[in-house]
Structure 1
Amino acid sequence: MKTLIFFGSARKNGHTKQMLDVLTDQLDHEFEIIDAYNTHVSPCKDCRFCWHKKNCAIKDDMQEIYKKIEEANNIVFASPMYFHTVTGPLKIIIDRLQVYWASHVRKDKPDHFLRKGAIIMVGGAPDFDIQFDAGNQVLSNVLKDLDSNLIGSVTLSNSDRDSIESKPFLKDELKQLAQKLNIE
């Protein structure tokens, strides 16, 4: 088994990474982290090349990322929320996942989920009802396009004041999420 993790934080040891570390410490299989801030990925040009071939006309780091997605049993997105959604570098990668959305147009979409998916989100603001709604909508839809069944998400709000240490229940939630990812 293999889990592919898309990490969207500029802060290499911030709250998102701390949560991700709890998750990965519990995985009993191989995992790889793609750091969105350290990839060379150009924005989608909406050229619609992917409408005809399961590939992208732009040749950059995404070519390798597509291969890694195909090899993954699980996909995890972990990102702080900047103005209610994922960070810019992660959004550029997500836009290039148009290749998978285009399976509807190409008519080669699998008729069942191929992998499991999970989401980790961190927000600096104090908790409010719709704090993670936009990020969840983006990431859950991307997971569907990646033929991934969303099995859970863990969120940390008020990270300007709180942390995983001040909210220990989050460690339990992350460990439970990892156990779900461990099941074949």
Structure 2
Amino acid sequence: MLKILAVHGSPRIGGNSDILLSAFIEGASSKGASVEKISLYQLKFSPCIECGGCDETGECVLNDDLTPIYEKILSSDVIVCATPIFFYSHPAMLQAFFERFQALWCRKYRLNEPHPFGKTPKGLLLGVGATKGKKLFEGLVRSFKYVMDACWGVYVGGLFFRGVDEKGAILKFPEHLEKVRELGVAVSTLPEEEWPVERSASP
């Protein structure tokens, strides 16, 4: 069974990125995928404190709500992050989540360990932003590519929606929600080469 970790990176529960993520989960679950959702702003955890504690062990010394999430990351076949854009970047807790992948980076690159389950996780993004700038999502994509590399994975692509701001405004665009549902279905039924995503940093 395909295992998907669905990460909600917005502080606004029930907002546009949350609605998009729910549509993705609906599509993926309808085809039998096992999906676990985590909302970062409902967890209590710290960003990386650059202590170097993981250099020798590959284990983060911080003990908080993110500690058990490492196992979920490593056991997942797909990691999908849904987030708004804040000042052409991503929210603080999503950045803190990304930073904590340093422990996994150490396992891979300092300790030369293989993925513990022999997997190559696939990364997906669902991004939404109020403005319509061509480069609106480039920073998010660039960061997430390196995050996926740190966990022995690869960034596949994403779906990105501009000009959506107020809470729930995405509901005015049912075609956007349908695209995301279809992506969830595709992830559960098709090879990654056929997933209907935008694969450029400037979609």
Normalization by structure 2: what TM-score?
0.81
In the alignment, which residue of structure 2 is the partner of 1:139? 144
In the alignment, which residue of structure 1 is the partner of 2:94? 90
In the alignment, which residue of structure 1 is the partner of 2:85? 81
The residue correspondences of 1:144-159 to structure 2 (distance < 5 A) are 144-159=149-164
Confirm whether residue 101 of structure 1 aligns to residue 102 of structure 2.
no
Confirm whether residue 22 of structure 1 aligns to residue 32 of structure 2.
no
Alignment gaps of 5+ in structure 2: 192-203
Identity over aligned pairs, percent: 23
Structure 1: distance between partners of 2:66 and 2:11? 19
Confirm whether residue 171 of structure 1 aligns to residue 174 of structure 2.
no
Q: Compared with structure 1, are the counterparts of its residues 84 and 176 closer, same or farther at alpha carbon in structure 2 (3 Å cutoff)?
A: same
Confirm whether residue 5 of structure 1 aligns to residue 11 of structure 2.
no
The residue correspondences of 1:115-134 to structure 2 (distance < 5 A) are 115-125=121-131, 127-134=132-139
Alignment gaps of 5+ in structure 1: none
Q: Find the residue that maps to 1:78 and give its secondary structure.
A: strand
Shift of 1:151: 2.6
Q: Alpha carbon RMSD of aligned pairs, Å?
A: 2.0
Q: Which amino acid aligns with 1:56?
A: C
- Check conservation: 1:75, 1:115, Cα contact below 8 A: yes
Pick which of 87-96 and 152-161 moved more: 152-161
Q: Find the residue that maps to 2:123 and give its secondary structure.
A: strand
Normalization by structure 1: what TM-score?
0.89
In the alignment, which residue of structure 1 is the partner of 2:196? none
Shift of 1:113: 5.6
Q: Which amino acid aligns with 1:156?
A: F
Shift of 1:139: 1.4
Shift of 1:60: 1.1
- Check conservation: 2:124, 2:156, Cα contact below 8 A: yes
Q: Compared with structure 1, are the counterparts of its residues 165 and 61 closer, same or farther at alpha carbon in structure 2 (3 Å cutoff)?
A: closer
Q: Compared with structure 1, are the counterparts of its residues 141 and 117 closer, same or farther at alpha carbon in structure 2 (3 Å cutoff)?
A: same
Task: Extract structure 1 runs of 4+ deviating beyond 4 A.
Answer: none
Shift of 1:84: 1.3
- Check conservation: 2:6, 2:21, Cα contact below 8 A: no
Which one of the candidate residues 31, 45, 48 is aligned to 2:49?
45
- CA displacement, residues 52-103 of structure 1 (integer Å, 9 cap, x when unaligned): 1121111111210101112211111111111111111111111111112222
Q: Which amino acid aligns with 1:89?
A: M
Q: Which amino acid aligns with 2:148?
A: L
Q: Compared with structure 1, are the counterparts of its residues 48 and 109 closer, same or farther at alpha carbon in structure 2 (3 Å cutoff)?
A: farther
